[in-house]
Structure 1
């Protein structure tokens, strides 16, 4: 399965010991090392208490929206291995993807 930027997948959360899954937004592109085997992703959450989280609106999706109101956590970056991906869920358009990447860039001091 080759995933594009903007894909939302369900995969194991590498930050949890119990093997629970969560939705992830693929932000890496084909220039990333091992793209197709590993994907650079941002975690999504349904929690609303993270002030810096970016909410996803229904019109942000290219495919069907997630079943729960979700938010992108641009500070929660992980490399997800293909073997840990359970399924493709949906995809977002360019606007929310670019907004998340811009926010991540601010966190790591990337100049425009």
Structure 2
């Protein structure tokens, strides 16, 4: 069964020398090429930085994170369906709009 926009999943951590899973939030929807086989996702982190977006209790539709967490909208990955270990929750879609808006600000040519 495909994962949907807003679902938070455990997936691979490709940026560390020790490979271990980390949480990712699915940003893509069913229009994404190869939906059901791969997903565009942003990382969750427990490191508070000025640029991260805090996930509050009211942002969760189901599940949750074991520690205070944030989304880092500049850390984007393509997750393969087979590499996802499990779903741990789902975030509200209106919360994801803030993540997407921040991501767009990092890649938009409007400020060039």
TM, length-normalised to structure 2: 0.92
1:31 aligns with 2:31: yes
Structure 2 counterpart of 1:63: 62
Residues 77-92 of structure 1 correspond to what in structure 2 (within 5 A)?
77-92=76-91
- Cα distance in 1 between the residues matched to 2:54 and 2:38: 25
Q: 2:85 aligns to what SS in structure 1?
A: strand
Deviations 1:67-108 (A, max 9, x none): 111000000000011111110110000221000001001111
Q: How far apart are 1:64 and its partner, in Å?
A: 2.5
- Cα distance in 2 between the residues matched to 1:17 and 1:80: 18
Structure 2 counterpart of 1:2: 2
- Cα distance in 2 between the residues matched to 1:65 and 1:58: 8
Structure 2 counterpart of 1:96: 95
| Contact 2:64–2:88 (CA under 8 A) maintained in structure 1 | no
- Cα distance in 1 between the residues matched to 2:12 and 2:82: 9
5+ unaligned residues in a row in structure 1: which ranges?
Answer: none
- Cα distance in 2 between the residues matched to 1:66 and 1:38: 23
Structure 2 counterpart of 1:74: 73
- Cα distance in 2 between the residues matched to 1:22 and 1:4: 18
Cα root mean square deviation, aligned: 1.3
Aligned residues: 110
- Cα distance in 1 between the residues matched to 2:38 and 2:71: 20
